[in-house]
Structure 1
Amino acid sequence: MTSWALLPLALVLLCSSSFCSLGCDLTQDLQEDFLLLNQISTFPLVPCWKDRTSFNFPKEVMEGSQLQRGNATVIIHEMLQQIFTIFSLKAVPAAWNQTQFMQLFIGLDRQLQQLEKCLGQNGEWEEPFLESENLRLILKNYFQGISHYLQGKKYSHCAWEVVRIEIRRVFLFMSKLTRKLRD
């Protein structure tokens, strides 16, 4: 079974994390957004192999020492915020399914608003943990690298496809993070 096939199961487990304990169940929204991201383009990736790069997802985030539930919520919020920012660029490929892209964009915005409300209810917004702030800065640098890559490639269609694949990996990480919190 591929890791993509496990995503629905992983997102169901999301409810066991701090999201549900705060009444903030993003399970269905994350699953829908992931599926939209997969369906948004049918462009074959073979012509884009020359544009592949390693964005080096930050190990500090993956190996977060004693990652607390509050930190995880802040990290997921930061990831969604950065994805939203990247997709806010006006240069997304016209070949992408624009209806699905707008649904994805709206879904990201809805999730961000929901998480901000949840973080505010839990007091994590007012008094952020030092570890979560460090992880947020590390994530901002990672996503800034993605933005610079797009800029350097002049927002080409292949560059966007490479970024789309990387963002799918980020969605998979978010699902792994929620599983880790459940266990």
Structure 2
Amino acid sequence: MALLRPLLTTMVLCSCGPVESLSCHLPQNSLLLSRKTFEVLEQMRRVSPVLCLKDRRDFQFPREMVDVSQLQRARAASVLQMLLQQMFRLFHTERASVAWSPALLQDLRSELQQQLQNLSTCSIQASLLDTEGPALALRRYFRRIALYLEEKQYSNCAWEIVRQEITRAYS
């Protein structure tokens, strides 16, 4: 599973490195917020993963999006913003409200919203980023997750598998 830690690291580099011409200055607390989001996702575990082994699925996270080569540093903020928006949408549904502790779900939503606000300060030119491919890949990835939840009738195990998937992708 592709991990987003390199992407988050690139985000910090973008805010203070040679990509400053893109006017992307992330607050110092960006990595702290991402760590807090990960912790909340971990706290949300309700079902033992062992009980849900039969429900596991490969959602095919688009790995090519987190390749953080020099040429892709400028794209990192945009891709991360798309990922956070999709995560926020997923955990902001009525079905999610039924599945998770209201307090933890609100904590997660708040963390994601804060990160999105931090990223909204980045004024990156869309033409430079060519985000159409990554945007489509992310929408498809989250669509596969939504279809899986529907197929499994939003069961506790289905939500646990999705929580694990999002945690892996986010960690």
Output the TM-score relative to the length of structure 2. 0.80
How much does 1:93 deviate? 6.3
Cα distance between partner residues in 1 of 2:129 and 2:12: 22
Q: Deviations over 1:112-144 (max 9, x none)?
A: 1221222x2xx325x3522x2211211111111
More displaced stretch, 81-90 vs 96-105:
96-105
Show structure 1 runs of 5+ residues with no match. Answer: 1-6, 173-183
1:24 aligns to 2:26 (yes or no): yes
Pick closer, same or farther for the CA change 1:82–1:67 going to 2, 3 Å: farther
The match for 1:153 is 152
Cα distance between partner residues in 2 of 1:60 and 1:11: 11
How much does 1:166 deviate? 0.3
How much does 1:84 deviate? 0.6
1:70 aligns to 2:74 (yes or no): yes
The match for 2:108 is 104
Cα distance between partner residues in 1 of 2:106 and 2:160: 17
More displaced stretch, 84-93 vs 59-68:
59-68
The match for 1:55 is 59
Q: Give the secondary structure class of the aligned counterpart of 1:161.
A: helix
Asked whether the 8 Å contact 1:91–1:155 carries over to 2, the reply is: yes
Structure 1 outlier segments of 4+, above 6 Å: none
Cα distance between partner residues in 2 of 1:52 and 1:32: 26
Q: Considering only aligned residues, what root-mean-square deviation do their CA atoms show, in Å? A: 2.5
Show structure 2 runs of 5+ residues with no match. Answer: none
The match for 1:178 is none
Output the TM-score relative to the length of structure 1. 0.75
Asked whether the 8 Å contact 1:78–1:139 carries over to 2, the reply is: yes
1:129 aligns to 2:129 (yes or no): yes
Q: Which amino acid aligns with 2:26?
A: C
Q: Percent identity among equivalent residues?
A: 34
